[in-house]
């Protein structure tokens, strides 16, 4: 299998952590769209949002997605990548989309334990747990619509990697 693999899900679901481990296991290149944006623009997500607003950031995010998509590449997408119908369709058509699904309380726990202020601007200005619940309620249907596979991401990373590999093998066999 050489098709691109896209990881989607909320902030804190493990897209970067799982992505790196999965890419290594599959011998794929790994790209994180947020990090790619940071390197190509010289600005953090927070700085882009501050100077261009969320619409400007979302437009850059779509461009990043298209720029990094290639065979044998695992792409960890930003949490809001699924907001644009164009992005959901692009990922479904170009590769395998994996939704790393975790409950809001687990996501909040992870984000509070490992805050990355420059990379993760608050979307609402509300406390993390409240924001995660509200954002997830809005985006959950979009993650599911984009995904070929939904994986429980509330377990240890090695189990998540195994579950993704198993899902991809099953899909390939059918």
What is the number of structural domains in the chain?
A: 1
Please report which confidence band the pLDDT of residue 113 belongs to, taking 50, 70 and 90 as the band edges.
Answer: confident
pLDDT computed for residue 170 by the predictor:
83
The pair of three-digit structure tokens given for residue 149, joined into one six-digit string: 């596979």
What is the residue range of 78's domain? 5-169
Q: Do the beta carbons of residue 1 and residue 172 sit within 8 Å?
A: yes
**Is 79 domain-assigned?**
yes
**Contacts with 103 (C-beta within 8 Å, 6 or more apart), sequence order:** 154
Q: What is the pTM of this model?
A: 0.90
Sign of the four-CA dihedral 145, 151, 156, 159: negative
The verdict on residue 120 lying in a domain is: yes
Residue 34 within any structural domain of the chain: yes
Q: The tokens 């995660």 sit on which residue? A: 132
Give the pLDDT of residue 123: 61
Each residue of 120-174: pLDDT tens digit? 555 666 777 788 888 888 999 999 999 999 999 999 999 999 999 999 998 777 6
Q: Is the dihedral of CA 124, 126, 132, 135 positive or negative?
A: negative
Residue 19 inside a domain? The answer is yes
Residue 124 within a domain: yes
> What six digits make up the tokens of 83?
């907001």
CATH number for position 143? 3.40.50.300
Residues pairing with 101 in the sheet: 152
Tell me the per-residue pLDDT of 11-26, one tens digit each, with 9 for 90 and over. 889 999 999 999 999 9
Higher pLDDT, 104 or 30: 30
- Asked if residue 91 belongs to a domain, the reply is yes
Domain for residue 174, yes or no?
no
Q: Per residue in 74-110, pLDDT tens?
A: 999 998 999 999 999 999 999 999 999 999 888 888 8
Kindly state the average pLDDT of the residues 36-46.
Answer: 90
């Amino acid at each position: 299998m050489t098709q691109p693999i896209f990881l989607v899900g909320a902030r804190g679901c493990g897209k970067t952590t799982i992505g790196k481990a999965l890419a290594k296991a599959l011998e794929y290149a790994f790209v994180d769209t947020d990090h790619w944006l940071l390197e190509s623009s010289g600005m953090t997500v927070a700085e882009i949002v501050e100077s261009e607003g969320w619409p400007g950031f979302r437009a850059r995010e779509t461009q990043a997605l298209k720029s990094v998509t290639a065979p044998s590449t695992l792409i960890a997408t930003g949490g809001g990548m699924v907001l644009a119908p164009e992005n959901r369709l692009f990922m479904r058509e170009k590769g395998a989309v994996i939704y790393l699904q975790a409950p809001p309380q687990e996501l909040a726990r992870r984000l509070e334990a490992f805050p990355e202020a420059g990379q993760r601007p608050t979307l609402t200005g509300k406390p993390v747990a409240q924001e995660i619940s509200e954002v997830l309620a809005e985006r959950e249907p979009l993650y599911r619509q984009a995904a070929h596979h939904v994986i429980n991401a509330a377990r240890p990373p090695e189990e998540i990697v195994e579950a993704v590999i198993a899902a991809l093998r099953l899909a390939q066999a059918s």
